[in-house]
Amino acid sequence: MHVSLLIVRRQNAKDENEALKAQHEAAKAEQQVKARSEKERGEAAATNNESRIKDLEGQMEQKDRERDEWSAKYHSAISSAQETETANNKRIQEFQAEISRRDTDIANSNSELGKLQGEINNLRPKVFDEVGDEDVQILSVTYGTRVFYDSGTRDFNNLLPAFKDAARSGYRFGVNNGLFKDDPNPGHYKSMVIVYRYNRSGSTRRLRTLTGWEDGDKVKFDDWN
């Protein structure tokens, strides 16, 4: 009876040992499964992180390119604006120099006009004593500092026919070097002065003066009266 009890207990111990071993193997297998699962999740997470990192790096590179492009455009715009400002300043200086030169020319022309007016006043008694045989009598033509024609002298540039036609027709014409077929003062702003009178029946034989500026508004002789 005692031996049978020992045999039973031994078998029970063996069964318990087998059960513990089975539990141990199951726990070990479960642990291995969890380890593999965690490794797979870790690898997946690492892959995702690498993909995300590459994506972010790509976005950063794109932003860097856009920044460089906008920076280049900005510097180009600044450079262009500076060049434009420099060009505008140069043009302003050129305009100011031209205005100053024209002011000087106008002052000189006004001085010449004053001298011509004095000559006209001196010639007035003589002119009124002379009765021309044409309906339009040109007494003097001055352009710039040159007298192109004076009463009694030769019309070297053949200007009088065109002026007389303009007086008869009443059309307007521009004052320029081409009109006088010469440039008496190159590079200077010039004025024109024509002293004339009408001898036509029904018109007043008073002295008249036609003035104009080079490349200025068109001018015309007085109407008949």
Over residues 186-219, the pLDDT tens digits come to: 999 999 999 999 987 766 788 999 999 999 999 9
Q: Which residue has the higher pLDDT, 30 or 220?
A: 220
SS3 1: coil
* pLDDT on residue 2: 61
* pLDDT on residue 128: 46
SS3 125: helix
pLDDT band at 31 (very low <50, low <70, confident <90, very high): confident
Give buried/exposed letters for 34-60 (b at 16+ CB in 10 A, else e).
eeeeeeeeeeeeeeeeeeeeeeeeeee
Residue 24 pLDDT greater than 70, yes or no: yes
Residue 27 pLDDT greater than 80, yes or no: no
- Distance from C-alpha of 116 to C-alpha of 122, rounded to nearest angstrom: 10
Give the pLDDT mean for 7-24.
Answer: 71
| 3-class SS shares of the chain: helix, strand, coil, % to 5 | 65, 15, 25
What are the backbone dihedrals phi and psi of residue 76, each rounded to the nearest 5 degrees, phi first? -65, -40
136 to 11, 117, 161, 178, 179: CA distances (angstroms): 158, 20, 10, 23, 19
User: In 3D, which of 15, 16, 19 has the Cα closest to residue 27?
Assistant: 19
Average of per-residue pLDDT values in the chain: 80
User: In 3D, which of 160, 169, 172, 156 has the Cα closest to residue 196?
Assistant: 160
What are the backbone dihedrals phi and psi of residue 199, each rounded to the nearest 5 degrees, phi first? -110, 10
Got the DSSP string for 179-225? HHTS-SSTTS--EEEEEEEE-STTS----EEEEEETTSS-B-PPPP-
* pLDDT on residue 6: 67
**Whole-angstrom Cα Rg for the chain:** 55
Give the pLDDT mean for 84-98.
Answer: 81
Q: What is the dihedral of CA 101, 107, 109, 110, to 10 degrees?
A: 160
pLDDT in tens, 110-163: 776 676 666 666 655 444 444 456 889 999 999 999 999 998 889 999 999 999
β-sheet with 208-213: strand ranges across: 146-150, 136-143, 191-198, 208-213
| Structural domain spans, the chain | 1-112, 130-213
pLDDT in tens, 37-72: 777 777 777 777 777 777 777 777 787 777 777 777
- Distance from C-alpha of 159 to C-alpha of 204, rounded to nearest angstrom: 24
